[in-house]
């Protein structure tokens, strides 16, 4: 997840629990990174252009990132403990493949979703023989 034009790019990143994320600074100004989130509390001191810092994410959940210098900078990392996770495209669709048949719970997270933890879920049944499921996120 880069820091470019005073934004975290991409603004939301999905990683598997245990992953290490690199944060290259591509700007001419220095940035820091902090998180007060339960899934990862950390703080990385200011660093400059073409420097990179890394952070490991060992707990599943949502990590909201900020920069001490630029208040408007917001980034989100979703740390997952399932291989069946994905980010929706610009039309709000995501395709999950090789989902086993049977009952499942589909969780949806968005930073501006108006529900506890910005998260909602629904139970679904995956029929045998279906290779993939396509989901559409509708914001209300």
Q: Which residues bind Cu ion (CB under 5 A)?
A: 31, 67, 69-70
> Strand (E) positions, 7-138?
7-9, 12-16, 19-24, 31-37, 40-47, 52-57, 61-66, 74-80, 93-97, 102-109, 119-126, 132-136
Write down the least CB distance from residue 6 to Cu ion, Å.
6
Write down the least CB distance from residue 66 to Cu ion, Å.
9
Write down the least CB distance from residue 62 to Cu ion, Å.
21
Write down the least CB distance from residue 4 to Cu ion, Å.
11
Distance from the Cα of residue 113 to its chain's centroid? 14
Measured from the CB atom, the residue of 9 and 69 that comes closer to Cu ion is: 69
Measured from the CB atom, the residue of 4 and 38 that comes closer to Cu ion is: 4
For the stretch 38-43, contacts whose Cβ atoms lie closer than 8 Å and that sit 24 or more positions apart, written own/partner, are 39/63, 39/79, 40/77, 40/79
Measured from the CB atom, the residue of 31 and 78 that comes closer to Cu ion is: 31
Measured from the CB atom, the residue of 22 and 69 that comes closer to Cu ion is: 69
């Amino acid at each position: 997840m880069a820091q470019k034009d005073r934004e975290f790019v991409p603004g939301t990143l999905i990683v598997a629990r245990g992953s290490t994320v690199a944060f290259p600074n591509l700007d001419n100004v220095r940035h820091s990174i902090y998180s007060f989130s339960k899934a990862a509390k950390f703080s990385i001191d200011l660093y400059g252009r073409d420097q990179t810092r890394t952070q490991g994410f060992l707990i599943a959940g949502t990590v909201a990132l900020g920069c001490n210098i630029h208040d408007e900078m917001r980034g989100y990392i979703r740390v997952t403990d399932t291989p069946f996770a994905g980010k929706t495209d610009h039309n709000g669709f995501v395709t999950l493949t090789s989902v086993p048949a049977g009952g499942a719970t589909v969780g949806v997270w968005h930073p501006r979703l108006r529900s506890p933890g910005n998260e909602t879920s629904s139970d679904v049944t995956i029929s045998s023989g279906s290779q993939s499921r396509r989901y559409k996120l509708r914001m209300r």
